[in-house]
Amino acid sequence: MPRTPVITVTLPTGEILKRATWRKYSHVVIAIRPDMPSEALAWCGSESLAHKQLVFWARAIAQPRTLAILPVDVPRPYRVEVIADNSGKWCGNGLKFAAVELAEAYAVDLWSRWTLVRSWRVIDDDQKVWKESK
């Protein structure tokens, strides 16, 4: 069973907020106070929902804080490629995965189902190889 993916938000201060989830979030509403660590108030699936949450939290919080909406860090997409014939050419099917582990699990599953797969690898958009079959 693959691990739950972790999404992150990098704050202007360099802090990184993390959340393990299978849901798709695009923005987070944060509260910033100089004397305390930043706090995620709401993880949102759209910018418009984040603005609604920002208005809600601005009214709900009595303590003086700076509220901000930040985009969720976009994870690097990983792809699986296989060699399934004698040509030695790497081929993929266009599926993208948010984590190396998810792509690797898919590659191993594909390798176990397809009898012609000679080798597999997990790459990113820059063609950097992250994992490959032995």
Task: Quick: pLDDT tens for 81-125.
Answer: 999 888 989 999 888 887 788 888 889 998 888 888 889 999 987
Contact 11, 66 (CB under 8 A): no
Tell me, yes or no, whether 41 lies in a domain: yes
**Same-domain status, 15 and 53:** yes
Whether 32 has a pLDDT exceeding 70, the answer reads yes
Domain hosting residue 50, numbered range: 6-71
In this structure, the answer to whether residues 94 and 111 fall within a common structural domain is yes
Same domain, 66 and 83: no
Within-domain flag for 31? yes
Please give the single-letter amino acid code of residue 1: M
Burial category of 50 from C-beta neighbours within 10 Å (exposed 0-12, middle 13-18, buried 19 and up): buried
- Residue 1 domain-assigned (yes or no): no
Q: How far apart are CA 133 and CA 82, in angstroms?
A: 10
Residues 67 and 82 in one domain: no
- The number of domains in the chain is 2
Q: Is the pTM of this model over 0.75?
A: no
